[in-house]
Structure 1
């Protein structure tokens, strides 16, 4: 029985170590994803300010309508907004070609410079996100964690990709919130308890048989 308890404790420590690693690598992916969202929101704000300074040129009503950053509650909203920003930037560039005064505007130049910096930052964050995804997926798919990772809430993470139409896609990614772990540990505890009880019954049966044999010999 002591050996069984020792093995159970070792297995629990081993499982906890792997779970914590999965959690840590999964959090790295989510953190990198949040960084991308922050850059997309900043890019949206800057594009909105660009639209504002075009009002004096009488072209702002022709621009693609932008959703405010506060309404970007999901990655789907962020990606839709990012595509609209691309359209707006193309429209602004065309307008600047038609209105040299706009192109020479100090605020316009500052905003365009900041947008250029955001684009560079986004590229780095995309690469950082995909690196985190690659690291997480590689660990998750290795033995022995690949045997139970999905069952405790750690599914494969999606890469930041570009589809055939040239549109960027960053699907949602979630990991275990603790509920699946509690359920798994409960099952393991119940199973361990069942094994202990079974071993106890077998031991009692064996002791009873030994005792019965000894009593039989005593009568003889």
Structure 2
């Protein structure tokens, strides 16, 4: 074989190696972004979990006989703290969100509680944290979409299978919360 043919073969091998390395590194980067974005959700969930005991104690002072609601919030908070997978965290988070909605509905029955500055501050902080959790979930799902696309699209899917890259799970809303609320005047 001529030297030109060997040069062409070497150049093609180098291009193939560089392409494979680039696809692998892209998959690693996307997988790490998924992990980072999930960690950001976890940070916001921790912040919310830290606010909840203060909120529960404030409500206890005004509405101590609403024991069932307070227990449900505490139980749901424990579920979020003990979740180890995206699916568990999503389910526990949805349960906690529902329990908090019930807690705030109960608070509506206590004008003194609603007027309490500590309660108002906690409610505002919790509302801000809920917004941050919502944004973090959206960002996580966007990153998971990019990562899953890379794992499924040719030719990166070949590299993903060879090196064991697995698709990630989206943070999802349960069916019960997807229904359009009925508004009546």
Count of matched residue positions in the alignment of Structure 1 and Structure 2: 167
State the distance in 1 between where 2:50 and 2:66 align.
16
Counterpart selection for 1:114 from 111, 120, 125 = 125
Greater length-normalized contact order (CA 8 Å, ≥ 6 residues apart):
2
Q: Deviations over 1:21-77 (max 9, x none)?
A: 110011111211111122122222222321111222313522213318654444455
State the distance in 2 between where 1:18 and 1:149 align.
9
2:98 corresponding residue in structure 1: 87
Query: Aligned Cα RMSD in Å?
Result: 2.9
Instruction: Name the TM-score, length of structure 1 as normaliser.
Output: 0.63
Give yes or no for the alignment of 1:101 onto 2:112: yes
Which of the two has higher C-alpha Rg?
A: 1
Counterpart selection for 1:131 from 139, 142, 149 = 142
Residues 33-42 or 73-82, more deviating = 73-82
Distance of aligned partners of 1:166 and 1:151 in 2 relative to their CA distance in 1, 3 Å threshold: farther
Gaps in structure 1 of 5+ consecutive residues: 168-220
Instruction: Name the TM-score, length of structure 2 as normaliser.
Output: 0.74
Q: Deviations over 1:92-145 (max 9, x none)?
A: 223322211111111110111011111211222122112212222333333321
Indicate the SS of the match to 1:98: coil
2:18 corresponding residue in structure 1: 13
1:41 corresponding residue in structure 2: 46
State the distance in 1 between where 2:112 and 2:105 align.
13
